[in-house]
Structure 1
């Protein structure tokens, strides 16, 4: 990565982020995948293996959206010429083991690298494991890896 960032490039990265974030907020796997490169790597660092390729990513996102109902609270976005980091909270409404509704919040961090075509080349997602385990345990959900290669 270059250390000097041209003003126009930073704004361009932000516009890619804005389109990408809309895909996640709309829970639209097609839009998300369309902003990734054909050879993209998507890795949720929760003990799971990386997903490689646009088609597998699209299927993985559809599965995540089906399995988990969550919203996103923005905390901080840092953009560079070919990357962004996005700190956010995954917010889920869950029922505890007694059926009582509670709001779970898990701190998340996305590290995203763009290629020269302004496509997402790689996305690494880091989560606060203690918060995730606590929320899932309280809800009686087994904390399995969120990202699994699909066959």
Structure 2
């Protein structure tokens, strides 16, 4: 584990905990890639990273991260969290998240987030109107 990578992780995670898309984007390289591997296209560049983070906070304003584990190296970290929040239907949810992050020159070069997409989509789905029928 390197101290510089661990320190970057701590600053970066604090930005996510604070729900601050501007500070998140500032910690990325200019040509950074942020890819939430659940069907979306990767966000490329700081402006797109900022937009992606802001979108998550708009969708789940009470998004929170329960720390599970962390591994760091010279130019990467891998971390596991339990994501929690409130769905569009108003129900609390919890899904697993794993991030693999590549670091370059003291900034996030690539962030690959792997989430249980099926559970996340189900949790965030809008409820059907009362009396709606399926089938």
- Normalising by structure 1, we get a TM-score of 0.77
Structure 1: which 5+ residue stretches go unaligned? 1-6, 142-151
For these two proteins, the number of residue pairs brought into alignment is 127
List, as ranges, runs of 4+ consecutive aligned residues in structure 1 with deviation greater than 2 Å.
93-96, 133-137
Structure 2, gaps ≥5 residues long: 129-135
* Counterpart in the other structure of 1:140: 127
Structure 1 pair 134–59 and aligned structure 2 pair: CA distance change class (3 A) = closer
Structure 1 SS opposite 2:7: helix
TM-score normalised by length of structure 2: 0.86
SS at match of 1:17: helix
Contact 2:12 2:27 in 1 (8 A): yes
Aligned counterparts of 1:41 and 1:21: Cα–Cα separation in 2: 17
Post-superposition offset of 1:95: 6.3
RMSD: 1.7
Within 5 Å, give how 1:4-19 maps onto structure 2. Answer: 10-19=2-11
Select which of 93, 96, 102 maps to 1:107.
96
